[in-house]
């Protein structure tokens, strides 16, 4: 099982930006957490972060026939990017969406996710644990698909 985790804009600023929402843990801490979740699930994985929509679209396209599953936190692009949605639909790779914060309890504009139209699972407001939940869900999803 080979998973791709994609993190969108400003996640590289974890520990600095809006600590009242995202806490003091850094992006490096998040990468370590995700790697531990890969190990727990017995998965290989790659972690990618970009502040640029086009780079995220290209990474999704490059995942075709390379990765078995995509876990994506599109961050601000959640609410604006039809291009990311279209890329996910084009590659047809099982996708889980993760948000560190509970976007439904924040500003009104954050309550709609284009990515959710392609994602089979959405995890909101569970912090780093949301990634672990998505990795373990993906393991179950892919294992059941092989049967």
List, by residue number, the catalytic residues.
22, 99
Burial of 49-72, coded b for 16+ CB within 10 Å and e otherwise, reads bbbebeebbebbeebeeebbbbbb
What does each C-alpha distance from 4 to 33, 107, 142 come to in angstroms?
14, 29, 14
CA distance 91 to 61: 6
CA distance 99 to 122: 8
* C-alpha span between 71 and 120 (Å, rounded): 10
d(CA 8, CA 50): 5
């Amino acid at each position: 099982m080979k998973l791709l985790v994609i993190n969108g804009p400003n996640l590289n600023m974890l520990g600095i930006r809006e600590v009242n929402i995202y806490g003091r843990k850094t992006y490096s801490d998040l990468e370590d957490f995700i790697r531990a979740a890969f190990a727990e699930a017995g998965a290989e994985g790659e972690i990618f972060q970009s502040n640029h929509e086009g780079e995220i679209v290209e990474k999704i396209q490059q995942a075709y026939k390379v990765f078995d599953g995509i876990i994506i936190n599109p961050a601000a692009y959640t609410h604006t990017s039809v291009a990311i949605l279209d890329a996910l639909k084009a590659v047809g790779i099982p996708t889980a969406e993760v948000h560190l914060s509970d976007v439904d309890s924040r500003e009104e504009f954050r309550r709609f996710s284009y990515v959710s139209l392609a994602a089979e699972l959405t995890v909101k407001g569970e912090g780093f644990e949301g990634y672990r939940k998505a990795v373990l869900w993906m393991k179950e999803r892919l294992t059941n698909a092989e049967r």
